[in-house]
Amino acid sequence: MRIAILSPQSAHPHAPLAAALAEQLRARDHEITVVESGSDLAADLRLAALAERPDDFDLVHVMAGPRALTRVGTMHAALVATLSNDSDALPVWRHYAGRVAFLAASQAEAAGNYVEAIIAWEGPERAASFAAAHEAVYTRVVARAARIDHRPWGYYVVLADEPDHKVKRIVVYPGKRLSLQRHRKRSEHWYVIQGEALVTRDEENIRVTAGHAVDIPLGAWHRIQNPASSDMAFIEVQTGEYFGEDDIEREQDDYGRA
């Protein structure tokens, strides 16, 4: 596995953990790139250069705190971040919830956050098991990321694909919207699970909040957009006779696909 570890500066107490993890992962035959981040311009440039290489890594692990995550959070590689117990970081962790698999060092740090796993550092003598626990998480996260279909406006994961229906979990980034489109062979049911959506359905503009749904009839012109400052997610249930991506007629699109 090709893994980039974003390490804090050498003076930070978490830097030895990142170094030990990198050493142990190399011993397990992974290709490891360690990038030291920090608060200066040079560190920002290092992270920007890494973010411009999305195909070079299977996974990026952010161990350097929320600022580093904001620099690489849009990469298409699988993303893992180690939480820091810092109230100032909470808005960043919340912003990337759903896009990033979070790790915590203790139950206290995990409180109030969705975490993939709790992995505690138990000293150098336990470094091998520390790395093995991370490797197990990486394997799950990379497998999950392989099912993600990225788009300019966000991404989706197909949850079910059967002869009589198809189900997707769709995430729309802040300020983005899908194309204005219609389908000839399917209708759709959209259930918002996170954030707030603005739905266009023919001549209607409908605001839909988490926990509420809207139906898109066969042949109706429709689009969905995220007017908020954090990710919006919804479940799309398609029913009809055909669910291929080629059953899309676009009237208007922000990305030149109309």
Q: Where are the domains of the chain?
A: 2-146, 151-252
Domains 2-146 and 151-252 share a fold: no
pLDDT at 112: 64
User: H/E element holding 195?
Assistant: none
Q: In what order do the strands lie in the sheet with 148-151?
A: 148-151, 154-162, 165-172, 232-240, 186-194, 213-216
Question: Which superfamily does CATH assign the domain made up of 151-252 to?
Answer: Jelly Rolls (2.60.120.10)
Residue 164 tokens read as 């009589």
The answer to whether residues 194 and 95 touch, using CB atoms and an 8 Å cutoff, is no
pLDDT at 110: 73
Q: End-to-end CA distance of the chain, in Å? A: 38
Could you read off the pLDDT of 215-254 as tens digits, one per residue?
Answer: 999 999 999 999 998 899 999 999 999 999 999 999 999 9
Torsion of CA 183, 184, 189, 192, to 10 degrees: 0
Q: Which of 139, 138, 119 is nearest to 129 (CA)?
A: 119
| Residue 185 near residue 163, CB atoms below 8 Å | no
Indicate whether 54 pLDDT > 90: no
Q: What is the pLDDT of residues 63-76, one digit of tens each?
A: 998 989 988 887 87
Q: Which residue in the block uniquely carries the two structure tokens 């003076």? A: 11
Distance CA 122, CA 119 (A): 9
* Percent of the chain topping pLDDT 90: 67
Q: In the CATH scheme, what architecture does the domain 2-146 have?
A: 3-Layer(aba) Sandwich (3.40)
Q: What is the pLDDT of residues 121-147, one digit of tens each?
A: 999 999 999 999 999 999 999 998 888
* pLDDT tens digits, one per residue of 152-194: 999 999 999 999 999 999 999 999 999 999 999 999 999 999 9
CB atoms within 10 A of CB 165: 14
The pLDDT value recorded for residue 23 is 97
Q: What is the pLDDT of residue 241?
A: 94
Check residue 173 and give its pLDDT: 92
Q: Amino acid letter at 11?
A: A
Place of tokens 């560190």: 43
